[in-house]
Amino acid sequence: MSCWHISDSSDVIDLLLTAFSGKAFIDYTALKQNLADRIRLQRQLDKSREKQKIFLRNNDDMPALSEQGFSDIEQYKRWMEAHRYPESTINIYSGMMVRFLRFVSPKKASECNSEDLIRIVKDYILPNGLSQSFQNQMISAVKKFYGEIYLSAIDIGKITRPRLQHRLPNVLSKDEVRQIINALTNEKHRVMLSLLYACGLRRSELLQLMLNDIERNRKLIRVRQSKGFKDRIVPISEKTIEMLDLYIRRYKPQRFVFEGQWPGGMYSATSLEKVLKMACEKAGLSKSVTLHWLRHSYATHLLESGTDLRYIQELLGHKSSRTTEIYTHVTSSSLQKIRSPFDDL
Domain assignment of residue 341, yes or no:
no
Specify the number of domains making up the chain.
3
Residues 34 and 60 in one domain: no
Q: Strands, E, within the chain: which ranges?
A: 214-215, 220-223, 232-235
User: Percent of the chain scored above 90 by pLDDT?
Assistant: 23
CA 7 centroid distance within chain: 27
Domain assignment of residue 165, yes or no:
no
Look at 206-210, 228-232, 310-314 and tell me which has the smallest mean pLDDT. Answer: 228-232
Domain assignment of residue 343, yes or no:
no
Residues noted as catalytic: 202, 227, 292, 295, 318, 327
Residues 312 and 209 in one domain: yes
Q: Where is the domain boundary, 50, 70, 88?
A: 50
Residues 36 and 68 in one domain: no
Domain assignment of residue 164, yes or no:
no
Residues 42 and 109 in one domain: no
Query: How, if at all, do strands 232-235 and 214-215 pair?
Result: unpaired
Residues 89 and 4 in one domain: no
Residues 113 and 195 in one domain: no
Give strand pairing partners of 91: none
Residues 318 and 178 in one domain: yes
Confidence of residue 88 (pLDDT cuts 50, 70, 90): confident
- Give 339 or 76, the one with higher predicted confidence: 76
Residues 97 and 236 in one domain: no
- Positive or negative torsion for Cα 123, 127, 128, 129: positive
Look at 282-286, 302-306, 339-343 and tell me which has the smallest mean pLDDT. Answer: 339-343
Domain assignment of residue 142, yes or no:
yes
Residues 317 and 288 in one domain: yes
**What's the CATH number where 106 sits?**
1.10.150.130
Above 80 in pLDDT, residue 10? no
Cα-trace Rg, the chain: 24
Question: In the 3-class helix/strand/coil scheme, how is 175-224 assigned residue by residue?
Answer: HHHHHHHHCCCCHHHHHHHHHHHHHCCCHHHHHCCEHHHEECCCCEEEEC
Distances (CA, A) of 284 to 280, 287, 298: 6, 9, 21
Domain assignment of residue 117, yes or no:
yes
Residues 18 and 85 in one domain: no
Domain assignment of residue 345, yes or no:
no
Question: For residue 319, what pLDDT is reported?
Answer: 73
Domain assignment of residue 166, yes or no:
no
Above 80 in pLDDT, residue 161? no
The residue segments making up the domain with residue 178 are: 174-332
Question: For residue 100, what pLDDT is reported?
Answer: 92
Region 155-168: what's the mean pLDDT? 62
The model's pLDDT over 173-219, given as tens digits with 9 standing for 90+, comes to 889 999 999 999 899 999 999 999 998 898 888 998 999 999 998 88
Residues 34 and 104 in one domain: no
Read off the DSSP letter of residue 122: I
Residues 228 and 80 in one domain: no
The model's pLDDT over 113-122, given as tens digits with 9 standing for 90+, comes to 888 888 888 8
